[in-house]
Amino acid sequence: MQKPAVSVIMNCLNSARHLRAAMDSLMSQTFTDFEVVFWDNGSTDQSPSIAQNYDARVRYFREENTVPLGQARNLALAQAQGRYLAFLDCDDLWLPHKLERQTALMEANPKVGLVCTDTEIFDGKRVLRRLFAQNPPVRGMAFAELMERQWISMSSAMLRREALTALSAEGIAPGQGLNGGWFDQSLNVCEEADVFYRVAHDWELDHVDAPLTRWRVHGENTTFAKFGQFADETLRILEKQRTLYPGYDGQYADLVTLLTRRAAFQKAVALWRDGHNAAAREAVRPWRKEGGKYRLFWWASYLPGSFFDMAARLYFALPPRWRSQAAK
């Protein structure tokens, strides 16, 4: 049988609540030459019956023992047959022209390894904001820019198969360790960004400047609850890139500073939230004079950690451009 143009990767773990809406949005695509690699990571709800209630383009696989998401994505990717690889998380949505417009950009330029779309962040009832609203992303070779500001939501990403294959040549077998593979199984919160960064280092990026992806959020403050993990994985990615790309510190000196400073702030936030105020200040001490964000954090950290949630709500009330600056 002829292989499909696009393999859509769906990783599922007890996603019945929103799965039908996600599947319906996929089946409403104007571009129809796709397969769905549906990887069930041991669901105990109605997800299996929902997924298998669609047409023959859905190839259902099941892992009885739940594994980490990065590993599950690698297992699903190993089954993909398409020359392009798209991802749809089970609580997100696609608008009808998403695959059509992304595939057209891929076909038009063989140097493009990744195409994303603008993304609407919504809570199931209303759109909260658009990712590209204030700061349109960069086209072409944009590794450093992407590292400075990650603008690709997982469900908006489409990869060229050759770009993904090249990642496994960087180290050992796919997904099997820190220095190589597809989704790095040593990462838990930054595994998606890590893949996008490595593709961007060697391939051009492009995007559809239209909100064709909807990313469902279930309480944005959970991002802050994981800041300690983000700090550790930011530094791990930095060390990984130093290994993969000789001369990294000289070529990307500004990135080294940015990522080191970003990880220190993430660590400080986690420490403050857990009530370790003095340790939080010590983490950002080298960067205290780098900008208003650090000075503000310094004085805020004298307050009890219970003020953390208030600070988080204030952060998400900021205009998108201010939030982008605060993430640096």
Which has more confidence, 177 or 74? 74
Structure confidence at residue 12 (pLDDT): 96
- Give dist(CA 258, CA 247) in Å, integer: 17
Question: 156-173: per-residue pLDDT in tens?
Answer: 999 999 999 888 656 444
Q: Domain ranges in the chain?
A: 6-216, 222-326
Q: What does the mean pLDDT of the chain come to?
A: 88
CA atoms within 13 A on the CB side of 154: 23
Q: Cα–Cα distance between 194 and 187 in angstroms, integer?
A: 9
∠ CA 80-140-35, rounded to 5°: 15
| pLDDT more than 70, % of the chain | 87
CATH T-level assignment (fold) for domain 6-216: Spore Coat Polysaccharide Biosynthesis Protein SpsA; Chain A (3.90.550)
Which stretch, 25-39, 61-75, 159-173, 221-235, has highest mean pLDDT? 25-39
Reported as a pLDDT band with limits 50, 70 and 90, residue 113 is: very high
Determine the pLDDT at residue 226: 78
Evaluate if residue 186 carries a pLDDT over 70.
Answer: yes
Q: What whole-number distance in Å separates Cα of residue 313 and Cα of residue 223?
A: 12
Backbone Cα Rg of the chain: 20
Mean pLDDT value of segment 294-321: 72
What is the pLDDT at residue 134?
A: 76
Q: What is the reported pLDDT for 167?
A: 85
